[in-house]
Amino acid sequence: MKKLLWLIAALARVALIFSIVICDELIGKEKESLVNAAVPVIDIQPEGAIYLQNDSASPLSVTARVNDGGTLSYQWFSNDQADDTGETSVGTEAVYMPSTETPGTYYYSVVVTNTNNSASGNKTAKTVSAYAEITVNPSVAQETESPRYVTAVNVWNYPTEPDPAIPSGYTNWVRDDMYDPAQGNILNGNAGTDGAEDWIRLAYKTDSEVNKRDAIAEIAILVGQNTQPPTGWTKINIDLNNGRLSANYLYLAYRKVGPSDTQAIDFIGSYSGRIEVSNESRPGYSWVFYTGAGYTGLNERADLNKGRPTANWIFLMVHKRPFTW
């Protein structure tokens, strides 16, 4: 009788163990069959930019996709550093317009969430974008007590590196920084590695709005040694390339404002490096273009080292503000 009871108990234990294994296997298969919401894929990341204070900004945007028919939603965050510590929620659309009200450097990112209520597993999945660095520099006009305009520009050439002192009667050198005249090195408009050319420097003068009718409306680069400027323009007769090494003869020319002008220059800066077709000027800034003999392009941005293949690419840019005669 004892042996029979022992056999029954053993069989019961075997049945229990078998049922547990079967249940675990069924549960595991059920878990394996669950389908989660797809993780969003970001095809185009938000891009950083540099602005002047209170200039119009371009919107930050992100392009994302999923392949499971889910719905995408967006959550933008702003921070003063490139991480999620202390970040602030700022927007819930696919695009976000960054503020340029306060100078500083800001980092923006967006969390893209896919919601798929048809998923049998996790119904949401998220992806975080790269950080877009937005720099807001102080407005040039705000650095003075009253609005100012550029009323004079000139060019100097030196056989050796000149003293950094600003020429008498001028406000500042044109510097190797297109946004802030107080920052960056003085622009050497003849910089390069293919010879020992003269140092070429440009300086400008700013005056208060009282003298605004003496403001400069436009500047351009004339191509060709004997090229004369258009009617109403003034040519500065110093070759920006010093005529050396088979480079083009380039001359700065400018036009003062007239009754029909609605904008005038308040700052002259520069940009060094190759310019791609997609690289557009920042809000409020305009590229300086070529004109005159030897000029064949249409709205071709003026490289001050045109014709020198191993020299730096140097471009002038001007910032303008509203003008009324």
Concatenate the DSSP letters of all residues of 207-260 into one string: EEGGGGGG-EEEEEEEESTTPPPPTTEEE--S-TTTT-TTPPPEEEEEEE--TT
Stretch 142-148: mean pLDDT: 56
DSSP-derived secondary structure letter, 74: E
Scanning the structure block, which residue is given the tokens 């550093």?
81
Q: What is the pLDDT confidence band of residue 188, given thresholds at 50, 70 and 90?
A: confident
- CA–CA separation, 202 and 205 (whole Å): 11
Amino acid 144: pLDDT:
44
Average pLDDT over the chain, rounded to whole? 82
Q: What is the pLDDT confidence band of residue 265, given thresholds at 50, 70 and 90?
A: very high
Residue 251's beta-bridge partner residues?
222
Scanning the structure block, which residue is given the tokens 């003068």?
205
275 Cβ neighbours under 8 A, 6+ residues apart = 301, 313, 315
Scanning the structure block, which residue is given the tokens 């293919």?
194
Q: What is the pLDDT confidence band of residue 111, given thresholds at 50, 70 and 90?
A: very high
- Residue 90 contacts residue 77 (beta carbons within 8 Å): yes
- CA–CA separation, 190 and 183 (whole Å): 20
User: Residue 193: pLDDT above 80?
Assistant: no
Show the domains of the chain with their CATH numbers: 41-137 (2.60.40.10), 141-322 (2.100.10.50)
User: 96: helix, coil or strand?
Assistant: strand
Percent of the chain with pLDDT over 70: 76
Q: Check residues 201 and 275 and name the one with the higher pLDDT.
A: 201
The pLDDT tens digits of the residues spanning 30-42 come to 556 899 999 999 9
pTM above 0.75, yes or no: no
